[in-house]
Structure 1
Amino acid sequence: MPSKKTNVKTNLKTPERKGNENDNESDSDFEIPLRQIKRKKTIPVKQETSPYFSNEGNNCSAETVSNYSSATCSLQPKNIVHYLCNAKKNVILNQYRETFRSLVIKDIRNFFVYRCNSPFSRRVTCLTWHPYNSNVLAVGSKSGDLFLWNISDEDNKFIHGSGPDGTIKALKFDDLNPTRVYTASVNGTVCVQDFLGKASKVFLTIDSSRYQDYYSSLDVCTPNRTIVVGDTKGYVTMMTLDGQEIWTSRLHKQKVTHTEFSPRENWLLATASLDRTVRMWDIRNMKNSYLEVLQHHKPVNSAYFSSTDGVRLLTTDQHSQLRVYRGPLWTLENVIIHPHRQFQHLTSIKAQWHPLEDIIVVSRYPDPSLKDCAGNDLRAIDFFDAESGSLLYQLFRLGVSGIVSLNAFNHLGEYLASGMGMTILIWRTDHGGIQEKLNKRITRPKTNDQTSQDSKSKRLRRNCKKL
C-alpha cells in the first residue's frame, strides 16, 4: 500500500515539473483531492491492445497508465468523443471514409447510359437537378431553349428561346415552385420562367446590343430569400426572390463567371472571375472588404462548395488545374493537374462534387502538351479523391466519344447527368440487369429477307454436295 500512495502523489505533482513525459496523462479538467483517492479501492485494469487505439499516440508508458488508472478510474475517458480525439490520426473516421468512398466508386463502376436525349439545335450550356425531386432535370442551350426532363415520366416540357442572343449562362430551380426556374442570359436579362406556359417575369436588364455586357452567373438562396447575379463587368447584384434590388457592387475587375452561396453558412458567398481570383464575402456586411481572396494562375470558371458539409471549395480554371480549399481559413489543400483547356465552341468544363462523398467529378479534354497526359488519353469522366488528390476511376463507355463538358449528380447520387455537345446523357447503375434487357430489346429478330437468304445458302450447299 505505501508504494501505491507514493505513485499517486508523484503523478499528481508532475504538472509542476518541466520536461517530464507524464504531463499529458490526465484527461480530466479538475484535480481530485487526496482524501477521495485514499477512500477508493484499487480496481485491477486489464492491459489490452486495440487496433484502433495504441500507446504511441499518448506520451506515457504502460506502467504509469496502469498505476494511475488503478488509483482513479474516473480519469479514464468514457465519452466516444474523447476516444475519437485520442485516436492516432482519427483512424476510425478514416476507415469509415474509405469504406463509404469505396462503395460510391463501386456503384459508379457499374454506370451505363440509361437515357439519352437531344432536344436542342445547339449545344448544352447549363444543367441542374431539382433539389427535392430526384427525377427532374432542367437544361439550357446556346439558343436560349429550356428543357424540363422528367426521367421517370414522358411528360416533358420545352420552352423555345430567341436564338444565339438568348444563350443561357446560368440556371437555378425555384425551390418553392418546381415548375419555375431562374435564368441569366446573354441577351442581358435575368428572369424567372414557368414551364406551365405562364409569361416570364424579367427582373434585371442590360443593354447587350454588342453581346459584350450580359449577366453571366446566378445563384439562389431560399433560406435568405435572395438571388445573387454577376455580370461581365465584374458587378454583383443581390435582390429578393420578387426581383427587388438590395445592393449592387463591383466585386471583381473582370467578368464574374460563378456565384454561389455556402450550404453551411447562408451568409457566406463565393465569387469566381476572369481576373484569376476567387473571393469570399459576408453578405451581412458588404461595406467592408472581402473575407478571403484565392489567387489562381489562370482565369477561373467555377467555385463550388462541397455538398456533404460545405467545408471544402472546388475551383476549376481555364487550363489544367483543379484546386481544393478547406475552410474555415480556406487554405489550399490540393492542386490536381487535369486537362480541361478552354475552347471557343465548347461549353466551359466545370468540376462538380458528388453529393454523398467528397469526390470530384470532372470531364477530361486530352491535352498532348501536358506531361502527365499520355498519347492514348480518353475523353472520359474522371473521379478524384478531394483529400488525397488521387484518381479513383475513369468513366468511359463505347459510343460516348464526345467531350462531356458538364456533369451533375442528383441529390441522392443515383443519377448522373452529362452535357455532351447537343446531347444529354443520364447515367445510372445497372440494377437487376437493366442493361442486358435494353440490349435484348435492341437486337432485332430475323426478317423475311434474312430467312430467305439462309434457305438459299442451304440449297446451294446441298447442290454442291450432289455435284
Structure 2
Amino acid sequence: MDEAGPSSRGRRRRRELVNNDDEATTDRRRSANSASTKKKSDTGKNSGKRGSKKSSDVNNVKKRTVSSIKAAPKRKDNLVQCLNNSLLRDGSSDQQLGKLKRQLLAREVLGFTLPTLPMPEFKESARVTCLQWHPTRPNLLAVGSKNGEIVLWNAWDTKKTAYTPPTGSGSAVAAIKFHPDNATQVYTATLLSKVMLQNFEGGEPQVFWDTESERVWFTALDILHERNMLLAADNMGCVYAFNTTGELMWPQPVRFHKGKVKYMEFVGKGSDLLITASVDHTVRFWDVRKLGGMKDFLIELPHAQGVNSAFVSPSDRSSLLTTDQKNELRVYRGPAWQHPLIIPHPHRQFQHLTPIQASWHPMENLIVVGRYPDKNFSANDTVRGIDLFDGITGDSLGKVQGSLNIPGICSLAAFSCTGEILATGTGFHSKILQAVVEE
C-alpha cells in the first residue's frame, strides 16, 4: 500500500500537468488567432493607403535613378567613327539619319584648320602631282612630285618621314598604291615610262615594265589584292596587267580608250569590276575576266569634257564621283548608273597646274574639291580654298576653314581612311588639315 500510494499519486500529478499545458497551449493559439484576425482586418482597412505610398516610393526611386544617370561625355576626337553607332535609337528613317550624319560630319570638316606640326616636304622642290593615303593606316601619307620623288609622311611621328630619291625632270609620279603587306613599299606609275615597286628603306626600285619610249608613259594604276593583280594604264589608252611580283599576266596590253587613261579603280574588295576615266570624254566599267578589246566595256558614261578622276564612294560602294576638266562634278548611282547628279564647279584645266580631282569622305557621301575661281563661271567667283558638297543633294555646304589660309590652288584633296585628316596638294607644297584638338 505504502509503495503503491506514492506511485498512484505521481501518475495523477503528471496527468494534471499535461492537462494544464494543453489548456495553456489552447489559450495561446486562441490569442494568436485573434491577433491574426485583427491584423488582417487592420491591413484591409489601410491597404489603399499603403499601396499608394508604396507606388509613390517606387516612382520616386525611378525618378532618382533616371536623374542620377549622367549623359555620355562628348568625344573630343574621332567623331566620324561614332556617328554610325549613335543615331539608331529614335526610330528615324535611314534617309533622315543619313542627312543628320552628313550635317554633323560637315560641321566638323568645315572647321578643319592647319595644325602646327611639320608638313610633308620634298627634298628637291617640285610640284605635287599625287596624294595617296594608306588604305588601313590613317597616319601614313605618300606624296609624289613632278621630279619623281615620293615622301612617306607619318602623322603620328613626323620625325619618321621617309623618302625615295627624285628621278629627274619629266618623271612625274602619276599614281601611287601601297603594297598590301609592307607599308614601306609602294607601286608607282610614272611619266618616266615605268611601272615600279619602290622602297622607302633604300635600295633600287623593281621595274615591272619600261616602255622605253618618250611617247608612251604611264598615267594610272590600281591593285586587286585578292587576285594578286596590278593594272597600269598609259597615255595611249592601253592597260597592262602584272602580278604583284612584276610578272606579266596578259601577253599584250589591251586598248581601253581612244585617249589617255587618267584614272582607274577596282570597285570594292575582291571585285572584278574596274572603272576607268579618260580624256576621251568617257568613264567605262569593265569586267577584268572578260577583256578582249576596247568594245568589251559593260557600261559607258559619256561626259562633255575629258575626265580627271572617277572615285567610288567608300561609304556605300554604289556612288561614283567624276571630275571633268572644266566645270562639272557628277555623281552617278548604281545599279543603273544613269541620270547623274550634276554639280557645277569651277576647276578648269591649266598646263602648269596638277589636274583638279574631287574626292569622297570615307564615312559619308560628302565631297571635297579645290576651287580654281573663274569669272566666266561666276562674276563674283574670286575665293579659292576647298569646297565641301553634299554628295546626295549636291548642295554646297561651304569652304573648309583652314584651306582659306593656303596660298595657291588646292588641286588635290584627300581624306585619311578614318576621315580625321585632310591632305591637299597645292603647287610645290602639301598641306594637312584637321579638327582642332581640345585640351
**TM (normalized to structure 2)?**
0.75
Which residue matches 2:138? 134
Q: How does 1:162-311 map to 2 (within 5 A)?
A: 162-209=167-214, 212-247=215-250, 248-263=253-268, 266-287=271-292, 289-311=296-318
Which residue matches 1:103? 104
Give 1:399's aligned amino acid. Answer: N
Which residue matches 2:38? none
Give 2:321's aligned amino acid. Answer: L
- The alpha carbon displacement at 1:172 in A equals 0.9
Give 1:404's aligned amino acid. Answer: C
Q: 2:408 aligns with which of 382, 402, 406?
A: 402
Name the SS for the 2:226 alignment partner.
coil
- The alpha carbon displacement at 1:265 in A equals 5.8
Mark the runs of 5 or more structure 2 residues left unpaired by the alignment.
1-87
CA distance in 1, matches of 2:268, 2:245: 22
1:92 matches 2:82? no
- The alpha carbon displacement at 1:334 in A equals 0.2
Name the SS for the 1:178 alignment partner.
coil
Which residue matches 1:391? 396
- The alpha carbon displacement at 1:292 in A equals 0.4
Give 1:341's aligned amino acid. Answer: R
Which residue matches 1:8? none
Which residue matches 1:427? 433
CA distance in 2, matches of 1:221, 1:124: 26
Indicate conservation of the 8 Å contact 2:147/2:166, yes or no.
Answer: yes
Name the SS for the 2:102 alignment partner.
helix
1:414 matches 2:424? no
- The alpha carbon displacement at 1:164 in A equals 1.3
**TM (normalized to structure 1)?**
0.71
Which residue matches 1:72? none
- The alpha carbon displacement at 1:91 in A equals 6.3
- The alpha carbon displacement at 1:117 in A equals 3.8
Equivalent residue pairs, number: 341
Indicate conservation of the 8 Å contact 1:258/1:273, yes or no.
Answer: yes
1:118 matches 2:121? yes
Q: 1:143 aligns with which of 138, 147, 153?
A: 147
Which residue matches 2:357? 350
Name the SS for the 2:271 alignment partner.
coil
Name the SS for the 1:97 alignment partner.
helix
Identity in percent: 40
1:321 matches 2:309? no
Indicate conservation of the 8 Å contact 2:259/2:278, yes or no.
Answer: yes
Higher relative contact order (CA 8 A, sep 6+): 2
Q: Deviations over 1:137-176 (max 9, x none)?
A: 1110001111111121111111111211221111111121
Q: Deviations over 1:45-88 (max 9, x none)?
A: xxxxxxxxxxxxxxxxxxxxxxxxxxxxxxxxxxxxxxx9xxxx
Mark the runs of 5 or more structure 1 residues left unpaired by the alignment.
1-83, 85-89, 434-467
Q: Deviations over 1:99-118 (max 9, x none)?
A: 21112112113211124343
Q: 1:265 to 1:306 in 2, by over 3 A?
A: farther
Stretches (4+) displaced over 3 A? 396-399
CA distance in 1, matches of 2:183, 2:330: 33
Name the SS for the 1:246 alignment partner.
coil
Indicate conservation of the 8 Å contact 2:106/2:366, yes or no.
Answer: no
Give 2:433's aligned amino acid. Answer: W
Name the SS for the 2:170 alignment partner.
helix
Indicate conservation of the 8 Å contact 2:326/2:348, yes or no.
Answer: yes
Q: Deviations over 1:15-47 (max 9, x none)?
A: xxxxxxxxxxxxxxxxxxxxxxxxxxxxxxxxx
CA distance in 2, matches of 1:354, 1:127: 15
Two-structure CA RMSD over aligned residues (Å): 1.7
Name the SS for the 1:111 alignment partner.
coil
Indicate conservation of the 8 Å contact 2:191/2:217, yes or no.
Answer: yes
Name the SS for the 1:416 alignment partner.
strand
Indicate conservation of the 8 Å contact 2:112/2:436, yes or no.
Answer: yes
- The alpha carbon displacement at 1:223 in A equals 1.7
Could you tell which deviates more after superposition, 376-385 or 123-132? 376-385
CA distance in 2, matches of 1:324, 1:218: 22
Larger Rg: 2
CA distance in 2, matches of 1:300, 1:413: 25
Q: Deviations over 1:366-417 (max 9, x none)?
A: 01111xx242531021111111111112114453131001011011110011
Indicate conservation of the 8 Å contact 2:110/2:401, yes or no.
Answer: no
CA distance in 2, matches of 1:399, 1:286: 47
Indicate conservation of the 8 Å contact 1:263/1:309, yes or no.
Answer: no
Give 1:129's aligned amino acid. Answer: W
Give 1:141's aligned amino acid. Answer: S
Q: Deviations over 1:298-348 (max 9, x none)?
A: 011111111112101111110001111111121133011100000000000
Which residue matches 1:360? 367
CA distance in 2, matches of 1:338, 1:294: 19
Indicate conservation of the 8 Å contact 1:227/1:238, yes or no.
Answer: yes
Which residue matches 2:28? none
- The alpha carbon displacement at 1:264 in A equals 5.5
CA distance in 1, matches of 2:110, 2:344: 23
Give 1:107's aligned amino acid. Answer: E
CA distance in 2, matches of 1:98, 1:149: 34
Indicate conservation of the 8 Å contact 2:179/2:185, yes or no.
Answer: yes
Indicate conservation of the 8 Å contact 1:224/1:266, yes or no.
Answer: no
Which residue matches 1:152? 156
CA distance in 2, matches of 1:110, 1:338: 21
